[in-house]
Structure 1
């Protein structure tokens, strides 16, 4: 069976990237932004992030399959319903939205680059290995699903 390459839980990656973003914001100029717009953007992106994360977990629970991203080979079924009709990775999309809210809060363009770093890291070290495991488990069913639904949004 396929050996999964990643050993770092995605929430830890989010926290690490968030800390790096905070550090970057401390040493770079803050961008001027209208406070009402800033607060609105933060609330909207946080709410969307929470929605995508919860919807992803609920879909997995309803399908009675593992939510553990470090053990995709333990999946008992391919979830392609609910939020998984919109995104193959709604929980990771939720994490991106959390980081967007954080970048808006920090009001630092340089800190916002952490979002790109997170997406690149997740694609390379989390999503691609997960997809390899899912191809082994669900073969053509997963390949058809990949053609229908985008990786992020």
Structure 2
């Protein structure tokens, strides 16, 4: 059942919901004729950010998977700008999905997903990092925003 409560799964649930909303609300407050291209660009940005962050973590030989102990505190690459670039990528994927499917009401799910990610994953991960890396984590957290 782990895959049900896994960050990418929550993102996929949101994208499916955006698709469903696009079937219910076709033509309502649409994003215009370029919604597919715009959505694809935002999805590509989200995937690119996630790949960059994952590659940075792997280079430091630490866990990419949530809820696992980190072997290193990664503060370079995209982690210079965001403490959670992979989760930020999840939000971009959902935003891009809502744009792609021309589902403006699907954008309501973006802050909902941010809340789920923060409560279920980010806070516990930050507690683990705080416990493992102490002052180094506190210093990085003080100078680096959680999202952007």
Q: Is contact 2:62–2:71 with CA below 8 Å preserved after alignment? A: yes
1:121 positional shift: 0.7
Determine helix, strand or coil for the equivalent of 1:44: helix
1:94 alignment counterpart: 89
Whole-angstrom distance in 1 between the partners of 2:25 and 2:146: 32
* 5+ residue gaps, structure 1: 1-6
> Where in structure 2 are the equivalents of 1:44-59 lying within 5 Å?
44-59=41-56
Cα displacement string for residues 55-86 of structure 1 (whole angstroms, at most 9, x for unaligned residues): 11011011011111121xx2111000111101
Following superposition, the deviation at residue 19 of structure 1 comes to: 1.9
TM-score of the superposed pair, with normalisation by structure 1: 0.86
Distance 1:16 1:32, change over 3 A: closer
Number of aligned pairs? 144
Deviations 1:19-59 (A, max 9, x none): 22222333235333332x32332232122112210111011
Separation in 2, partners of 1:96, 1:40: 18
Output the aligned Cα RMSD: 1.6
Q: Does the Cα contact within 8 Å between 1:49 and 1:98 map onto a contact in 2?
A: yes
**Deviation of 1:9 (Å):** 1.4
Instruction: Name the CA distance, whole Å, in 1 between partners of 2:127 and 2:100.
Output: 36
Where do residues 4-153 of structure 1 align in structure 2 (5 Å cutoff)? 8-30=5-27, 31-35=29-33, 37-71=34-68, 74-153=69-148
With normalisation by structure 2, the TM-score equals 0.89
